[in-house]
Amino acid sequence: MARRKHSLAREPLRFALLGLGWLLIAVTPVIGPLPGPGGLITFGLGAGLVLKNSFWAKKHYCRFKRRHPRYGHWADWSLRRGSARRRAALAKQKQAGGD
């Protein structure tokens, strides 16, 4: 029961971060035309926050990765996902053992 209370205490923070992520994504077209990589940075940060705090976004991200594994690899790399590093290490082990 204590664990449930702890997770409920995080909900306002999770929604605030989700809102901030959507705000950064919405601001990207305004910042994009300015010189420099500002649009890429704001979109990347916003997408990362949304993906981290939204179950809906995670579900669609997983579906995207299944349909387009090559692009999913780049998304994992850019988000520095631990699961991507584990899969890469397992693939290297399997490849090294098969040689």
> In residues, how long is the chain?
99
Q: What is the pLDDT of residue 8?
A: 59
Enter the pTM of the model: 0.63
Domain ranges of the chain: 1-53
- Closest to 61 measured CA to CA, from 52, 29, 90: 52
Taking residue 50's Cβ as centre, other Cβ atoms within 10 Å add up to 21
Residue 95, token pair as written in the block: 């490849």
The predicted-structure confidence for 3-13, as pLDDT tens digits, reads as follows 555 565 678 88
d(CA 47, CA 27): 12
Average pLDDT, the chain: 81
The predicted-structure confidence for 12-24, as pLDDT tens digits, reads as follows 888 999 999 999 9
Residue 6, token pair as written in the block: 């702890």
